[in-house]
Amino acid sequence: MIVIIAIAAVVVGFAGLVTFRARAGKGSSAQSVGGALSKMSQAGFREAETALKAGKFEVKSSIKFNADCAGKSEGELREYFLSNPCEGLARAYIQIGDARRNLILVAISWVEMSSVASGEEYGRLVVVDVGNIVELSREVPTLKNITYEDRLYASGVKGAFVWQVEVKPVTAKVPDAVVNDVLERTRQ
């Protein structure tokens, strides 16, 4: 059995794209977090789903919007968001397969900051991996105990928006080629 966790967090603000090997509520409507975030995150999410389906992956998905970045983050990012509130947050995940056959989970989140400068600042924090947006999949009872230690991820900034994609093989038998394929197909 192969299980992969891929998390895509899109938070806009820091220019560029970076790939790393790292260590270790209730959603609101899309309209309540702002039109730009809603449009951008939903488009990125749909593109990731489409790319995965093109790779012959069978998918199920979910997306939630929220304006409480501090409440949905961990580590130094929580502290950052307490003094620099975000404009909105979109988190999503895509489940590929099922627990009996090659389960892969792709989680995607996007953060909109109040300005390009605050987006760039937040993007730098994402690059140095000082915390995390809590993955939407961790709010699903059957997936909540899956941790995202020692994951592969990519991130980037686009204006005041920052995104991040994480891929986590849950079993030691997941081929690197599969992990890299999922990461490439879910980049924002």
Answer whether 97's CB lies under 8 Å from 131's CB.
no
pLDDT digits (tens, 9 = 90+) for 129-185: 888 899 999 999 988 888 777 677 888 999 999 998 887 766 666 678 887 898 899
Domain boundaries, the chain: 4-186
pLDDT digits (tens, 9 = 90+) for 93-129: 888 766 555 677 778 889 999 999 999 999 999 888 8
pLDDT digits (tens, 9 = 90+) for 31-49: 445 678 888 888 888 899 8
Q: What is the DSSP string of 78-111?
A: HHHHHHS--SEEEEEEEEEEETTEEEEEEEEEEE
pLDDT digits (tens, 9 = 90+) for 61-85: 889 999 899 999 999 999 999 999 9
